[in-house]
Amino acid sequence: MLPGLGALTAFAVAQREGQRLEARFAERRDNKAAMDRFRDAATKHQDVESLLKDRRTLQVVLEAFQLEGEIDKRGILRKILTEDPTAEGALANRLTDRRWRELAAAFSTRQASALTTTQMAALTTTQVAALSARQVAGLSTEQVRALSSTQVAALSTTQLRALGSAAISVLDLPDVRALGSAQVAALRPSQVAALTPLQAAVIDPGEMRQWGAAQIRALTTTQVAGLGTTQVAALGTDQLAAMSIEQSRSLTTRQMAALGTTQIASLSRATRLGDEAVEAAAAAEARAASPFAADPGLLDRITAGAITNRYEKAMGDGNPGLREALYFMRNAAKVTTIVGLMEDKAMTAVVRGALGLPDSFGVLDFDQQKTLLTQRLDVTKLQDTREVAKLAQRYLALSATPATGGNAAVAALFGGSSASAIATLSTRRISFTA
């Protein structure tokens, strides 16, 4: 885009007309078709492994984080997309490139809370209802245990389904009794299986009657044996037919006496319908585990990020250094420390160029680079868009990147093996040569 204008002139146009230019770029037939295809394909992936096998869809995901050059590093990607980024030792936190952490955070189904149990207990029902599904999923068992029955009753069905099995098992009996009809009906099969026998025994018979075959089949034999006669008597023939032979055999004499003749007869159909329920439960759990299910807005953010990346690449075609300058403008406000700057080699390359630091800067060790950048750059200026624009303009003005070999230089900045080195910042030698 804007070929022949020169990087500085094209940058000025991008500053003035950037939003309009990017919007037109997004509406281009090829880009629109690519993003529509991505949306359709992404929603069909039930787990990360499936996504990793779909190269075209994975490509768009990685483009949104400027990591498309890492698409063949499946082992690293698998860990990044499945590990809890808040966990100690998570791979995303051991990689020096912040883009990996951004990718991991985007796909994390959990968002840990720093609230103490006292603070959790003090939340109003409105505040509890305002928690996202990711925040609810990230609650520890201690935090869940601190919730009152009123707070538990305020959870939406989406929030309740986000709770892990361990969190379900620590709910107090009054909490379980406080669950509304819609909440009980929404429990996932794995959550039903996580209920203690005492918890299962206090569920209202009428609410248990709403469970489908998959939820009934998820009950353990111990749970079944602990159900009250009123609960058992309320079960429908379809629910009893969904029971496995083991479940039906676990019914006590008192429970069997509470059943009608039609209900007893339905138990003979248990095996076939029970097996179908297991398959249905597995499919439902797989859909719930989709990498895009926990955050409905993730698809929008990925398509927007991928388009922005493609737009900046297109702007850089024929205008060496412009892609990096636009990337720098967009991300500078995220940087609050020199170390944070050095975690992004493309950003550091722009700063190095703007400060007139020679190519030999790249051969210095980490501490020397950090000291030099600290002396030459007031990092607080990166929060000022005018100062950021001045740095980007100076980078373009002083850039001596030749037209030939420019693509290789850009590829080195936005990808490559150095972005994947597993090391701590304190020991790694980093090269930021443009």
What's residue 126's pLDDT?
95
Task: Express as a percent the part of the chain with pLDDT over 70.
Answer: 86
How confident is residue 174, by pLDDT bands cut at 50, 70 and 90?
very high
What's residue 428's pLDDT?
37
pLDDT digit string, tens, across residues 298-348: 899 999 999 999 999 999 988 889 999 999 999 999 999 999 999 998 999
Q: Which residue has the higher pLDDT, 383 or 408?
A: 383
Of 406, 423, 433, nearest to 348 (Cα)? 433
Minimum mean pLDDT range among 110-119, 199-208, 277-286: 277-286
Beta bridge partners of 428: none
pLDDT digit string, tens, across residues 30-62: 999 999 999 999 988 877 888 999 999 999 999
209 CB-side CA count, 13 A = 10
What's residue 1's pLDDT?
73
What's residue 113's pLDDT?
84
Q: What are phi and psi of 396, to 5 degrees?
A: -65, -40
**Residue 434 pLDDT greater than 70, yes or no:** no
**Mean pLDDT, rounded, of the chain:** 86
Query: What value, to the nearest 5°, has the Cα angle with vertex 400 and ends 347 and 337?
Result: 20
Residue environment code for 371-390, b if the CB has 16+ CB neighbours within 10 A, otherwise e: ebbeeebebeebeeeeebbe
Q: Residues 150-163: what's their mean pLDDT?
A: 92
DSSP 318: T
CA 7 vs. chain centroid, Å, equals 36
How confident is residue 285, by pLDDT bands cut at 50, 70 and 90?
low
What's residue 271's pLDDT?
53
